[in-house]
Amino acid sequence: MSMEDIVCIARQTLSTILDSGATSTLIMNCDVFWTYSEVEKVNVRTANHGTLATSGHGDCVVDLTINRRTSRVHLMHCLNAPGTFINLLSVGYMLKKGWECNFRPFPACCELVYHNQVLGSLPMLGNLFFVDLKFLTPDSLSIRMKRPEISAFAHVPLSWDLWHAWLGHPSGDAVKYLPIFATGIKLDVSTALQRCEPCIMAKHPRKPYPSSDMPCAMQMLDLIHSDLCGPFPIATPHGKYHFVIFLDDHTNLLNLQLLATRDQALEAWTLVRKRWENHAERTVKVFHSDNGGEFISRAFTESLAAAGIK
Ligand SMILES: [Zn+2]
pLDDT digits (tens, 9 = 90+) for 31-75: 888 888 887 777 777 666 667 788 888 888 888 888 888 888 888
**C-alpha radius of gyration, the chain, whole number:** 32
pLDDT level of residue 144 (50, 70, 90 thresholds): very low
Cβ atoms within 10 Å, residue 20? 15
What's the gap in Å between 169 CA and the centre of ligand 1? 4
- Distance, in Å, from the CA atom of 305 to the CA atom of 299, rounded to the nearest integer, reads 10
Residues of the chain with CATH 2.40.70: 3-142
What's the gap in Å between 162 CA and the centre of ligand 1? 9
Q: Which fold has domain 3-142?
A: Cathepsin D, subunit A; domain 1 (2.40.70)
The pLDDT of residue 153 is 59
What's the gap in Å between 35 CA and the centre of ligand 1? 35
Average pLDDT, the chain: 84
Domain 223-306 CATH class label: alpha beta
User: For residues 275 and 221, is the Cβ–Cβ distance under 8 A?
Assistant: no
Q: Are strands 87-90 and 16-19 parallel, antiparallel or unpaired?
A: parallel
Residues with CB under 5 A from ligand 1 (ion): 169, 196, 199
Of all residues in the chain, the percent with pLDDT exceeding 90 is 23
Of all residues in the chain, the percent with pLDDT exceeding 70 is 88
pTM: 0.43
pLDDT per residue as tens digits for the range 264-305? 999 999 999 999 999 999 999 999 998 888 888 899 999 999
What's the gap in Å between 176 CA and the centre of ligand 1? 13
Residues of the chain with CATH 3.30.420.10: 223-306
